[in-house]
Structure 1
């Protein structure tokens, strides 16, 4: 059976998630009795941790605010999560590379030797895909400014004329290594999605707003289904466009990173994207299974004819 100190640290690690855990559940996970759990809870309280009892249905224990600062208590899976996250954040956020390195060194220094070996096994180098993500990751200051307004529920102003638009920032969404802000536009009275990047200029106002219910599907679905979200065409060697007989919202959800979708009408949209070769680009367009018109440039039209010949021959083989 683990020692009292080892059990207390394990118990503290479980409670730091913020969830309320029942005595029976804690006893099962610690491999001990509920009476021992109560003693370990008292041990933590004596050490200055605010472990609160929760009564009623679903009651148990939770770690309340205040009290002593918990030590770094990580299991093997948490070590992997922390180490990998710190090493890969720079591929989706710019300007925190030095902070990442220092944080990783600090975390590693306080790890037990056994967990340090696990951490060292996950030393990686994250290289952003320059083709798929044409714009560099947003600066940390941009995300900090916008994220702070989201957390505080304060309006953001879009710089411009005297009556510049006001946005209610509701959520930050990271999709395919791209950062988006989901906001309610008070001027247009509709939900908007903004891609965060180097040129993002949103000014905090300090004016609070009330949170409003999101459309069905939540923030992720809303971002994926929005065509006009500020995406940029990636600088592939071969780029082209075509009008598809599909709604812009549907194509936006499945278009590859670095593609741009423009609404033509309620049933059609223009899709622009790129690839390493013209025949490869033609193949990407065929994956949408839609009739295509206004195909540009001529090299893409020629590649579509070549692909059609290959597919026809394969169909009659």
Structure 2
């Protein structure tokens, strides 16, 4: 095997490390072939990496090989260009993850960016303006997410204080729930848990959770209604306790051509009932909200169904009339 064609020791060590990171087990003959060196050279290189605190286990078997394991500390890592770009893009989007890690992410991004080739730095940097204009969300302490995740994995009841927006400032009782799923939705983290006191499923915003120092009893995992945690959470935001759909649906005929309606339907539907009229079906979390959805279209409405939606239009009309007069509703 031509030693003169072998890469330098440093370059070869980096190439070897990259291969070890890519898969669990590497037979020694395969590594030697990939790096165009002898198996003896591979053994020496493995020893050099071990001296640099990489935990590499020798595997037994017909081929004999090596496996990179987790060590007591994080050693230097090697990434190819695609991996480095993916890491940089993910770090740049850290602010949209709803976790309070932006400072650490910025430092990590600076480290990665300094090592990228100039042609890749420009590609990653082009996203900065768009990211700076992104929506800000409530940030979660990463330790809180880790605590919740540990409770889910261990199957232990989570005990926590909850900063509910409806609280009057008085001390509230410690909450308890069986934590089942932790999901990211629209830039915020949510915990789906089963509360035995109410014998019902509850959804909690993770940024309002302050875990107590000790968890509660162990529990047997349950299946979230419908079997899909993401669809269950989406349904709750739609005001539904069942399927992943709006709690209220209604129809009305609008004095607008179909082309003027279609761009604003969202998950609704419409069909033309004339050159300048459309039959529109929309959904919302409440009848009042559904009436407001239809009123987004500045057009006359007719043939409104069902009766609950007609009643909601009447209530909205009364409130609108009072607002126009500057009057307040009667009552205590």
User: Where does 1:106-255 land on structure 2 (aligned, <5 Å)?
Assistant: 106-109=111-114, 111=115, 115=117, 117-123=119-125, 124-125=127-128, 126-127=131-132, 136-141=136-141, 143-151=142-150, 153=154, 155-159=158-162, 164-189=174-199, 191-197=201-207, 200-207=208-215, 210=218, 212-213=220-221, 215=223, 221-227=228-234, 229=236, 231=237, 248-251=242-245
8 Å Cα contact 1:179/1:196 also seen in 2? yes
Cα distance in 2 for residues equivalent to 1:29 and 1:218 = 52
Tell me: CA distance 1:21–1:90, structure 2 relative to 1, closer, same or farther (3 Å). same
Residue equivalent to 1:237: none
**RMSD over equivalenced CA pairs, Å:** 4.6
- Structure of larger gyration radius: 2
The alignment status of 1:296 with 2:303, answered yes or no, reads no
Q: Equivalents in 1 of 2:243, 2:62: separation in Å?
A: 44
Structure 1 match to 2:268: 286
TM-score by length of structure 1 reads: 0.61
Residue 87 (structure 1) aligned with residue 87 (structure 2): no
Structure 2 match to 1:310: none
Distance (Å, rounded) in 2 between the aligned partners of 1:215 and 1:64 = 35
Q: Do the aligned partners of residues 192 and 22 (structure 1) sit closer, same or farther apart at CA in structure 2, a change above 3 Å counting?
A: farther
Partner in structure 2 of residue 270 of structure 1:
248
Which 5+ residue runs of structure 1 have no aligned equivalent? 131-135, 233-242, 252-260, 262-268, 273-277, 307-317
Paired residues of 2:96 and 2:187 also in contact (CA < 8 A): yes
Aligned residue number for residue 54 of structure 2: 49
What is the aligned partner in structure 1 of residue 108 from structure 2? 103
Q: Helix, strand or coil: the match of 1:2?
A: coil
CA distance in 1, matches of 2:74, 2:196: 42
The 1:47/1:97 distance shift into structure 2, 3 A limit, reads closer
1:213–1:26 Cα change, 3 Å: farther
CA 1:288–1:58 in 2, change beyond 3 Å: closer, same or farther? farther
Distance 2:234 2:189 in 1: 15
1:296 alignment partner, SS class: helix
Which has the higher mean CA deviation after the structures are superposed, 154-163 or 77-86? 154-163
Offset, 1:86: 1.7
Unaligned runs of 5+ in 2: 1-5, 251-259, 272-279, 303-332
Q: Cα 1:104–1:286, aligned 2, differ >3 Å: closer, same or farther?
A: closer
Tell me the TM-score normalised to structure 2 length.
0.58
